[in-house]
Amino acid sequence: MAYALSFAVRAGAAAAGEFAPVSRGDNPGPVLMLSRELGSAATDPQRVSPHDSDVGVSLTPSLTLGAGAGAQSHAQLPAADQLLIAEISLNGVPKGEFTVMALAGGDFLVGESDLKAMGVQPPYGVPIALEGEAHYSLRALKASELRFDEAKLALFVTLPPERLPKTAVDLQPGRPTRVVEPRDNSSFFNYRLLYSGDDAGGAKSLALATEVGVRVGDSLLRSESAHVRGGTGPGQDIRYGSSLIHDDRRSMNRWILGDFSTASGDLGNVLNLGGISFSKTYQIDPYFIRQPMAAFTGNIASVAQADIYLDGMRISTQTLQPGQFALRNLNYFGGQREVEVVIRDAFGREQRLVNPFYFTDVNLREGLHEYSYNVGFQRKNLGVASNDYGKAALSAFHRYGVSDSLTLGGRGEAEPGRFNLGPTAALRSDRWGVLSGSVAAGRSPSGSGSAEVAQYAYQARQFNGRIELRHYSAQYETVGQAIITARPKTEQTVSASYGFVSIGSLSVDWHQLRQYQGDDQRSVSLGYSRNLFGTLSLLASISRVAGTSSLPPTTNVFFGLTYSPKKDFITNFFHNSSAGNSSDVLQFGNNTPVGEGFGYRVVSERTDADLGSTYSLVPSLQYNGQYGEYTAALNSTRSSGGSSQETYQLGIGGGIAYVGGALAFSRPITDSFGIVKVGGLEGVRVYQSAQEIGRTNAAGTLFLPNLGSYVANHVAIDDRDIPIDYVIADKEQNISPPLRSGSLIRFDVTRIQAIIGRLSLREAGVVKPVEYIDLLVTADGKEMHFPTGRAGEFYIENLKPGRYFARFVFGQRQCAFELTVPESQQMLVDLGELHVCQF
């Protein structure tokens, strides 16, 4: 292979920076053309050296003409220019072997496809055509290092970071892996029966609270009710609420048909409606972060390590590749934090990037929506009447993250003759905190009115401050508002707290309320809290409440101590005094375990009032059993006048659940639930979140009454309880069930049982072993192959008891027969010699 060189001169082209291949017939220009002589026997190829791309040099393949008319003249190429296969290291990162052209002056040409393979970012500049592909000068790409190691055939290149790939590092906590999202159809029924009485001959009462839920796919039908008999009044049967809930896990949208509670915002009312609700509910995905998160961007020229700090505490270490980088989705709680990124390269050089960031859940991340649209009829006398519905009502809000710093939205509510609506906004500043507010205008039977609320919050390390200002016009009313006895006019709240490492936390709160009707109020309070030592902590406060002449000023004093000498045991002492009355409370007890076990609590209280002193002692006991929850409580009261009374309560609560063909009885089901099934094995320990819940029963099942909806619940079994003749596919699972649903959690175990025997047939009256053939057995619709050995011996694993179709080919003939596997508890079942066919 040889190269020919031809020149043509085009006026002004060099100045214009034009680089293009030229063919015969084109106007001459400053083009340096490289052509390959096909079939040349030359051993020293001529080389072209367009090492200074600024003069307008272009390499392009062409066919060299032979001697005669039209042939282009050849120029002697510089000896320094040559094609090489080199191992390229880009900014310290090995990229592999590539073909390059070395040019005089230390420059190199690399093909466009190779630049892309190495991750070099376009644009690459002016192309130079070489053998049918665009090549580019590394020097023109502003390489700060071009070093060639001739002994290793290695090319070391350092390009500016903006030429290298962009690296994004997600600092958001990872979701649990291998999460199972079951959609089993299920149902549950909760009940709690409470019997009450006293020693004074009072009327006894019996109260039954029930809850029923049925899930089909992504939809849940749920209803709650209460039934009371006895006591001083007539019996009552009350339905609290019934609703059909449909959740979409991917969009995080929730539909509700039935009874629900909703609120449109700070200037609206909380409404209990019977109707339809549609909302964006981020709780459907607990691992999705809706609020703004911190991010850092920058660039580095070589491999480096980045340490991320929050308020001086290192929280993450990442390895960054050369080029531009983005550290994204750093989330934290609680106000302004100093985010610092320390970058160190392989030579120990260090770069620090420090910025404050304000973490808050008031704002939405850029591009996110949050909304709730609700329409229905207002429920009246909730908890007293079952089906008392009144006026129609509408309640809605919608918020949008315009940016990570600004969230805008609107809200409103309406009923016949009354409505109010207006915009909302939240502005987040990394240095100054969060300012949010809402304005509303409305109309009611009393006239047109307006209201405004503004809130400012700032938190930074030990400091926490908040200001809230509200104003209402005299005619402003909310939907569903009860008969108005007092109309607020203005309300101001200012609070601040600061935590000192040595002395504890101090807080101050000031609140003032002015009303159109009713008494004005003003209060100021001071608070103090501190961990004294170990688990002993102190909480104290003093407040002064002042009003008009009809409300004389009062001073309230509170003092509390909390101590936990061991896990799950806690004791408290509280003292409270106000307006000449005081009370002292001492309580201690241990928490009832999540699984089976006892919990108890004892509360002793002394109250001093104008009418005398009262002493009470309230011991209570709770036992969580496998099939229920049992409670007992006694309230013994004595007064300084000598009177006494004792009341008592006895309770039992439980749940009945159904999923996957399995029925279970348990304690009350507070959220989702599951039935663990371990292949019919009894006595296998089951763990939830590393805490032992119990052992499987004779059917190999155990009920889990407390699975969290939508979170990944870690459920595991102890493989030490699995018999040696069984194998288990997996001993732990992450289960993420929908809202108030049941899941069948299978841990598949397979018993190891071997079937052996010998096959023989009769041919021409002679019994012969069926040796070295494939025995074909059909099980569960599939045909399995088992080879026979000497004397017709065969070995089959894990074939369940039953009858199977079997066959084999013997010579040119086929033998079909029925293979019977008997019931057996033995690991090895010998079928003996089987005479199967006669030819």
Give the number of other CB atoms < 10 A from CB of residue 453: 19
Contact 280, 252 (CB under 8 A): yes
Average pLDDT of the chain? Answer: 85
Which tens digit of pLDDT belongs to each residue from 190-227? 999 999 998 877 778 999 999 999 999 999 999 999 99
Whole-angstrom CA distances from 587 to 13, 223, 401, 656, 681 are 95, 36, 47, 34, 44
710 three-state secondary structure: coil
Percent of the chain as helix, strand, coil, to the nearest 5:
5, 60, 35
Which tens digit of pLDDT belongs to each residue from 304-361? 999 999 988 998 899 998 988 888 899 988 899 999 999 998 888 888 888 899 999 9
Question: What string of DSSP letters covers 294-310?
Answer: EEEEEEESS-EEEEEEE
Distance CA 651, CA 629 (A): 8
Q: Measuring CA to CA, which residue among 703, 721, 708, 715 is closest to residue 626?
A: 703
Whole-angstrom CA distances from 469 to 190, 264, 409, 513 are 44, 19, 20, 10
Whole-angstrom CA distances from 679 to 44, 696, 716 are 77, 10, 14
Going by pLDDT thresholds of 50, 70 and 90, the confidence category of residue 737 is very high
Half-sphere exposure (CA, 13 Å, Cβ side) for 54? Answer: 5
Residues 6+ apart with CB under 8 A from 328: 168, 169, 170, 171, 172, 293, 295
Distance CA 678, CA 716 (A): 11
Give the number of other CB atoms < 10 A from CB of residue 595: 18
Whole-angstrom CA distances from 337 to 311, 333, 347 are 6, 9, 30
pLDDT reported for residue 48: 34
Contact 633, 618 (CB under 8 A): yes
Which tens digit of pLDDT belongs to each residue from 110-133? 999 999 999 999 999 899 888 788
Structure-block tokens of residue 484 = 């108005």
Instruction: Output 81 or 299, whichever has higher pLDDT.
Output: 299
Structure-block tokens of residue 443 = 């109309």
The residue type of 134 is A
pLDDT reported for residue 548: 65
pLDDT reported for residue 427: 98
Distance CA 137, CA 53 (A): 7
Residue with tokens 């009418």: 611
Entry pTM? 0.78
pLDDT of 66 strictly over 90: no
Q: Measuring CA to CA, which residue among 677, 732, 728, 715 is closest to residue 699?
A: 677
Residue with tokens 């002292």: 584
Report the Cα 769 to chain-centroid distance in Å.
63
Which tens digit of pLDDT belongs to each residue from 403-460? 999 999 999 999 999 999 999 999 999 999 999 999 999 999 889 999 999 999 999 9
Contact 545, 553 (CB under 8 A): yes
Which residues does residue 278 pair with via DSSP β-bridges, in sequence order? 255, 373
Distance CA 465, CA 509 (A): 10
For residues 235-248, give the mean pLDDT. Answer: 93
Report the Cα 793 to chain-centroid distance in Å.
56
Which tens digit of pLDDT belongs to each residue from 145-194? 899 998 889 999 999 998 998 888 888 887 888 899 999 999 999 999 99
pLDDT of 18 strictly over 80: no
Distance CA 75, CA 57 (A): 15
Distance CA 156, CA 457 (A): 54
Instruction: Assign residue 612 a region (left: φ > 0; alpha: ψ between -120 and 50; beta: otherwise).
Output: left
Q: Measuring CA to CA, which residue among 738, 797, 813, 807 is closest to residue 776?
A: 807
Q: Measuring CA to CA, which residue among 781, 821, 733 is closest to residue 176?
A: 733
Which tens digit of pLDDT belongs to each residue from 773-795? 999 999 988 899 999 999 999 99
Residues 6+ apart with CB under 8 A from 538: 504, 528, 529, 530, 531, 532, 560, 561
| Backbone angles phi and psi of 161, in degrees to 5 | -55, -35
Contact 699, 668 (CB under 8 A): no
117 three-state secondary structure: helix
pLDDT reported for residue 825: 78
- SS3 assignment for 517-558: CCCCEEEEEEEEEEEEECCEEEEEEEEEEEECCCCCCEEEEE
DSSP structure class, residue 63: B
Secondary element (H or E) of residue 693: strand 691-695
Structure-block tokens of residue 389 = 């519905």
pLDDT of 55 strictly over 70: no
| Backbone angles phi and psi of 282, in degrees to 5 | -70, -15
Going by pLDDT thresholds of 50, 70 and 90, the confidence category of residue 812 is confident
For residues 525-551, give the mean pLDDT. Answer: 89
pLDDT reported for residue 17: 34
Going by pLDDT thresholds of 50, 70 and 90, the confidence category of residue 234 is confident
